[in-house]
Structure 1
Amino acid sequence: MSEPSPSQDQPLGLTVHSLPTPSEAGAQNARSTRRGRWTMLALALICATPVIASYFSYYVVRPEGRRNFGELIDPQRLVPTVTATNVAGQPVDLTTLKGQWLLVSVSGGACDSACQQHLYMQRQLRESLGREKDRLDWVWLVTDDVPLTPELRPVADVATVLRVPPAELAKWLVPAAGHQASEHLYVVDPMGHWMMRFPANMDMGGAAKAKRDLERLLRASVSWDNAGR
């Protein structure tokens, strides 16, 4: 009977592998846990980077003063807790304007030619933003009880028109020295902070510069501000 060759299978030949000690196993688990945490942290930072950059751009760097057409307001003023009324006479909390960029004009209900020019300019500025226009609301704040003329009532179909007590409004939106509130257009950020004032009695040439300001603001906030409230 021939001897089995060394290359043949040895069914009873078992390989014994050493098992890690409890302390070694604990160390391996700890290393795996730390590695997993660092991986999750890295992924979170990668995802958050665009948002952090946009916040930094808007709140820290912000549009440079020398490049702005509009005047930056410092300190910014938060929308007051005031009860306004809409064109139907229903009460509206002014703080409900939060959640959207606002382009605001102020005047009495009679709305003279300068007021009408502002309303037209607001509409044109918003439309000129193209696909970004839904991130900017057109707001007309009326400071008296004068009824809107039939020609102006259609504005309420496309803009937010609210009557606000002038004394309360003056605590929020303030004109430049020597001017009246109705001579400016105002920009309010989605948190409700009045943060920019365009020059008084702005013409259409100024409106083109105002558009560039608005575009920069919308770009700086693109990662954290969405259209609609």
Structure 2
Amino acid sequence: MINNPVYRGRIIFISLVVMFALPAIMAKTVLSQHWYNSGVTNKGELIEPHSTLDSFGLTNPYQQQQWQLGYVIPDKCDEFCQQQIYLLGQSHIALGKYQQRVQPVLLITPNSDSIETPQGSYQRLEVNQEFAQVVGQFEFVIVDPLGQLVMRYPKVDSTAELVPQSKGLLADLRKLLKLSRVG
């Protein structure tokens, strides 16, 4: 029966269909069942949907000039908050050759605590409640030179997590700066 040319042709045809269709069917199943975790390398959370400072009614003092690494000052700036502000400055210093392309910024909401920082060490940017709904208290945010909010780094729970978060933020920012020609 195998020597029958019609039967042999059907076997070859079915084998070819299975050979090409099976990987597509398997891929569709893996993706639809969420068995696959994509190879995301960023440490922060991408801000979706697309948001800009202009969309919140804010003016960008560094429009077309520099990236911004911002930190939202909370209602009460305690020792944890002060450590995050310190790490904001250290992250800026650690950028090395990219340092001139980034401006560290303290983002002040209407409810933010009034804090004293060394003169000239950080720029301040007043933000509104709409902005505070996207990027909350104790959070870092990366803003590109076009005023688009790119990534946010949610509040960590302990001081032990601050340094790994800062390293992740620095790695993401370096990648963005390396790939970007803006600012």
Band of TM-score, shorter chain: 0.5 to 0.7
* Identical-residue share of aligned pairs (%): 30
Contact 2:47 2:152 in 1 (8 A): yes
Q: Answer with 109-118 or 131-140: which moved more.
A: 109-118
Using the size of structure 1 for normalisation, the TM-score is: 0.54
Could you list the structure 1 runs, at least 4 aligned residues long, displaced by more than 4 angstroms after superposition: none
Using the size of structure 2 for normalisation, the TM-score is: 0.66
Quick one: structure 1 residues 145 and 68, their matched pair in 2 at CA, closer, same or farther if it must change by over 3 Å? Answer: closer
Match of 1:215 in 2: 174
Computing the radius of gyration from Cα coordinates, the structure with the larger value is 1
How many Å separate the matches in 1 of 2:126 and 2:46? 26
- Aligned match for 2:117, one of 153, 162, 168: 153
How many Å separate the matches in 1 of 2:48 and 2:55? 20
Cα offset for 1:96?
Answer: 2.2
How many Å separate the matches in 2 of 1:115 and 1:65? 32
How many Å separate the matches in 1 of 2:143 and 2:61? 13
Contact 2:74 2:113 in 1 (8 A): no
SS of residue in 1 equivalent to 2:124: strand
5+ unaligned residues in a row in structure 2: which ranges?
Answer: 1-37
Cα offset for 1:94?
Answer: 2.5
5+ unaligned residues in a row in structure 1: which ranges?
Answer: 1-63, 84-92, 176-180
Quick one: structure 1 residues 195 and 146, their matched pair in 2 at CA, closer, same or farther if it must change by over 3 Å? Answer: closer
Deviations 1:132-166 (A, max 9, x none): 111111010112377745xx231x5121113333x
Quick one: structure 1 residues 220 and 119, their matched pair in 2 at CA, closer, same or farther if it must change by over 3 Å? Answer: same
Match of 1:192 in 2: 147
How many Å separate the matches in 1 of 2:98 and 2:46? 22
